[in-house]
Structure 1
Amino acid sequence: MSPRPAPHLEFAPPAPEGRQGSLLIAIVAHAVLFLALTLATQWRTQPQTVQAEAELWSATPQAAAPRLQEPPPAPQPEPEPPKPEPKPEPKAKPAPPAPDPRIEQRDAQIALEKKKQLEKKKEAEKLEKERAEKDKAELKRKEREKEEKAAKEKAEKDKLAKEKADKELEKKKAAEKAEAKKAAEAKADAARMDALRSENLKRMQGLAGASGGENATGSALKSAGPSSSYAGRLVGRIKPNITYPGDVVGNPRAEVEVKVSPDGTILSRRIVQSSGNRAWDDAVLRAIDKTEVFPKDTDGRVPSVIVLGFRPQD
């Protein structure tokens, strides 16, 4: 009974076979060698018959005696042909050893390990290729995002620059418009002042001390009109009631005609000369409505109709 193999010896060398088989093979090999040597020696030691003839010659010529007549020799038996050398028996081939299951298991394990290593190598190459493709795609994505970001920043920058230019253009137009309006108002004021100056000049050229117009037909020294400071007093009383929600561009003048009852109660009002700013005109009208009653003049009377002028910066 062969000893039980130790565990985990798949890769150990095979155990030596029994000595009986080796001894039998050695005896058979020596017997065959001895037989071959014997046959070779026997063939070389067989007797062989050799026939030879010789002739004798003399130094001086002599007559030969008559040949002795001998009986013919008896025929010799022919030598037997050498026996053929026996062929050596073919050497028996030793039976192939039975396959060791441990060796087969080891070979299978080695083949399996090689297959696993080859699969791991292919898997690693596949992963490396996928990683390279992924890195390449990521690099392209980053470059595309960078280009998109640069384009977006450029578009934002161009948009801000355009908006800034538009605002500056609007501001410039507004300033030009304000300047033009201011110039127009100044021109209108100058024209009004010229007209007033011309009117005063004509009045001065009339009767000294008369207050009527150039077409007046009365004989009194002064007309029954308001005093020179009465309009300013009314404007000073109305202006605190003006509420305007914002800044007025320039200093426009709004002229309002107000009709008043004898006791000073305001009956009606209307714009006779607009300032060009509807909001300022409406603010002046609301202030007049809020005032409700005008004070009496120095002579104790209130004119029935009076024209008042209002400017934001007066």
Structure 2
Amino acid sequence: MIRKNSAAPVRPPRERGTWRAFALALVMHVLLGFFLYHGIHWQNSTPAGAEAELWTAVPDTPMPRPVPPPPQPVAPAPPVPDEQADIALQEKKRQQQEAARQAQLAEQQRQKVQAQQEAEAKRQQQVAQQQAADLAAQKAAALKQKQQQQQADKLKQQQLAEQQKQDQLKQQAQAEAQKKADADKAAKAKAAQAQADAQAKKLDSERRARLAQMQGMAGGEGSSGEGLAKSGTGSGAGGNAASAGYAEKVQRRVRPNIVWAGDPQGLETVVAVRCSPTGTLLSATITRGSSNAQWDDAALRAVQRSDPMPLDTNGKTPASFTITLRPAG
């Protein structure tokens, strides 16, 4: 199995006995050359003739010297058969081819491993480039989102500032409108008060005229009364139509409506009222005020809150009468 990330290329396993085979083949070739050389030289050489020397025997020696035998010719080495040479050549050729095939396989294997390594390196480079591109895209998206968020926050702050400005302008407009309304209301109240005062004066003068006329006709004094109770209210009925107990009814009606928390000493206000026969309050005006305008307003509001006025014993309310009011002391 080939490992992908190996630094060195994978080589095929070595065959055992390769060098021994090469050495034996080399020895066989050397012997073959040696035998061929001597065999050819033996066939082409002329055999040398035998030489012999004759010696004359010395008379002093009684025994003759033995003659050495002639030298025997050296038998040449038998030539190596051609079949064995062919076998050796074929074996050498086969070994060379096998070595070439093994080298080719090793080169193919090396190229394959190198191609795999290059493909793996290229893939890793592409992965690294893709990761870098993704990281850059994420950074760009984050930066764009941050910029959009900042723009949204800025726009929101601008809208909030604009809204606050509009609210402030609206409040100012409302304050001015309220101030104008208060001024108009005060002017209207002042005008209404002036009109009521004028009408009260007119009614008072008419009442005085009627009383004077009635006194002149009856030859006596018209009945009028005022309750001066220290409970805070007083009532009087103008005209002969009012019964003796009507002033107490008016007192009970007006007393709960008085709201005053100031100093009660020396305050007295007279309010003239005009009513319909059913008790509906037609008008209420101050005919004699006190030294405190706030108490006069409180007394007038108490009379106005007492609408309708109570009915008399005859089932009707007197047309006009006065009410004298003092704070409860």
Classify the TM-score, shorter chain.
0.3 to 0.5
Of the two structures, which has the highest relative contact order with CA contacts closer than 8 Å and spacing of 6 or more? 2
What is the TM-score normalised by the length of structure 1? 0.47
What is the TM-score normalised by the length of structure 2? 0.46
Q: Which has the higher helix share?
A: 2
